[in-house]
Structure 1
């Protein structure tokens, strides 16, 4: 009971700009992982409940609902996510340089930008769905409301992360997720098909209003506004070409596939993306810390954080994604026997997510620096999205949704590996051994998964393959395992 006052403080509506959690990297990473797990569970259970609750029509409804969610979230990455990245970076840098008096002004300024963009994005999302989809008007309107709610949620979460308030962010994630899960279960039982997006709208709106940012503040100096504007333009293009690329893949699947195969793609995506919380939970904590280090001019610490985070992410991502890749046939049984057709698509998407998430620390490294390095990320992200889209255009008409998955994999390799090579050289990292063993592990996973899916290998074979992966990868990565265990004991 003695913890209740502390919980009430974290759940009290408003944004406590003056608080400082004093939490370490490990604690913040765990809290971030819990919050992201809760949000990932919402998206996963959305797909599971709809697939189970609507019988034979479930796979088609899954495709439709996930397409509407993709439209809303694709639109939301345009300005709101750029504003979220900007507020996280600026708050961390202002704290690092001791200029805390400007924090409220920056939050208010970017909050007004986000709200304006969110309303326009909501209207545009509604119009797009009405134009492209043969659905009831209420479904289109809910897509627009979801775009608005998710936009404000994204900015609010970025603000909390920039302030280092991970406990508050996690508690609101948990509360909002419970509301969404209960809501979707009730709507599926009631078979209220047009209203299936309502729980998600309420989920993100609850979070956003629970830690709403002040929209009133003093003026932001012109020089700082120009710096924020330059960063946002770069971040907008970069996030549209990465996060937007992911959401765009569901829209592309709708274009190149049938109603049923679009549903299969949605099933695969719902299983592939939640595992990204391993990397994202560390990334959202690491980026403000990198910006903090850069703000105080500590480039050696920035390089050390990048090396440590990259080694840990490679270690964990190969284990987590490798297990999912080798266990794909069993994993898909969650959705029923008819879901096995999604196995090849799921393997490809899991490989893409593995490559993307294991090197996110190098992207954060460049984004925490001056604008010339930010522009590198922007240009590489655009190049990756263009290459991926061209791949869709070339092989999508022939391979359908599998072609979309291959295009996503190709694009992700471009956007992930080029920044890694740049940071490798810039910080003079010692990553030769890491790169060699990771490349061998990826090749082995691709070959083993192709055999397992093609031959429909049984559960025992899949378990044996996972055990070989864990033992082999653990032996090859002993140094990094010891480093992670040592940090956990501190």
Structure 2
């Protein structure tokens, strides 16, 4: 098990790294060719696509990764799971794409850019679901390949858009890349026999995962959106330059946490940190993250001006402060993933609500005075509250750790 988890984590991290570096290269091209204001608008719309996907597609991907892994472990059919999550993800992605159009217009974008943003929302939603499904099948290598292929395609198309001066379509290449990934990695089922019905607890797990995702991952994207709302266009562009380096760093924890859910989905114990191996895993990950993020902050005065000549120097302090929040956010993802693997999505959601509320209140309260910095401050404060909450829950004793029947059944299957 541990060898498979390590291998999957390497592949998943590699795929996430490719996506993160692709996003970085994407925004570098926009910043260099189209300027600071265009970079700010593109950064805000990229964050918008990730944020709105939290309302279902991302949760559907997380749910798929867990329940497909459980079905494989139990030797049962996953047809009903794929059918339900696939249809709802497609429908919700289209709906969220339509809703994003007036939001993009309100943020100061033109109609063509707003339409491209809608396509990006649809593409990212399908990508998030397909990625989660492949993780449920333990196909991290396949994910890494298609992450790379779709990223190369997106960058190639962006170069064509930039050379052609089609500034309103700068988001379209990324949307196309996400759709290509989703088509290539759509779940086709495990082909095993079984009852044609949804596993008990799936809908509840997904619903709580929506809330957990919004209140945990949403704050990082709100930080970028807050910069667009509370800062001037030029200031938001500078913040976007910092944000584009902080975002790939945050993907480290997301890549590893996505592996934890299917890998530990059939273990018993409630996902607690009292288990020595789980506690060591979280501690070791925190140490590695501290080194990695510390290096990013250390080299930022040298690296940012290279990537963004016009915005780099002013973005350095913003990036260094952001990295502190990203570190806290990233470390919190692992104990939360252990709880999710045990089926305790409700506990994760409830733990993250406090952090989210405190973070949003901080952003709104400090926005008029701190401007573009308000989002970063709110993100750090909210992430700290969330980290403390999930660690406290993980260290506590749980008489009945599993809050959905499928997870309980998986545990019983393991011990029988």
TM-score (norm 1): 0.76
Q: Do the aligned partners of 1:111 and 1:214 also contact (CA within 8 Å) in 2?
A: no
| CA distance in structure 2 between the aligned counterparts of 1:169 and 1:301, rounded to whole angstroms | 29
1:32 aligns with 2:15: no
Q: Which residue of 2 aligns with 1:114?
A: 89
Q: Do the aligned partners of 1:293 and 1:302 also contact (CA within 8 Å) in 2?
A: no
1:165 aligns with 2:139: yes
Alpha-carbon distance change, 231 to 385 in structure 1, aligned in 2, over 3 angstroms: same
Q: Which residue of 2 aligns with 1:274?
A: 248
| CA distance in structure 2 between the aligned counterparts of 1:144 and 1:300, rounded to whole angstroms | 40
Q: Which residue of 2 aligns with 1:324?
A: 296
Query: How well do the aligned residues superpose, as a CA RMSD in angstroms?
Result: 2.4
| CA distance in structure 2 between the aligned counterparts of 1:219 and 1:340, rounded to whole angstroms | 60
| CA distance in structure 1 between the aligned counterparts of 2:103 and 2:228, rounded to whole angstroms | 14
Candidates 184, 187, 196, aligned match of 1:213? 187
Structure with larger Rg: 1
Gaps of 5+ in 1: 1-20, 428-490
1:258 aligns with 2:232: yes
Residue 338 of structure 1: how far off its partner (Å): 4.1
1:394-473 superposed matches below 5 A: 394-426=365-397
Q: How many residues align?
A: 395
SS in 2 for 1:135: coil
Residue 162 of structure 1: how far off its partner (Å): 0.7
Greater RCO (CA < 8 Å, at least 6 residues apart): 2
179-188 or 169-178: which moved more? 179-188
SS in 1 for 2:388: helix
What is the CA deviation profile of residues 271-320 of structure 1, one whole-angstrom value per residue up to 9, with x for unaligned ones?
Answer: 112122332332221221111223xx797999344223212211211111
Residue 209 of structure 1: how far off its partner (Å): 0.7
| CA distance in structure 2 between the aligned counterparts of 1:191 and 1:418, rounded to whole angstroms | 48
Q: Which residue of 2 aligns with 1:125?
A: 100
| CA distance in structure 1 between the aligned counterparts of 2:197 and 2:27, rounded to whole angstroms | 46
Candidates 342, 347, 351, aligned match of 2:324? 351
Candidates 315, 333, 336, aligned match of 2:309? 336
| CA distance in structure 2 between the aligned counterparts of 1:382 and 1:61, rounded to whole angstroms | 33
1:175-186 superposed matches below 5 A: 175-186=149-160
Residue 345 of structure 1: how far off its partner (Å): 1.7
Alpha-carbon distance change, 189 to 23 in structure 1, aligned in 2, over 3 angstroms: farther
Candidates 287, 310, 328, aligned match of 2:282? 310
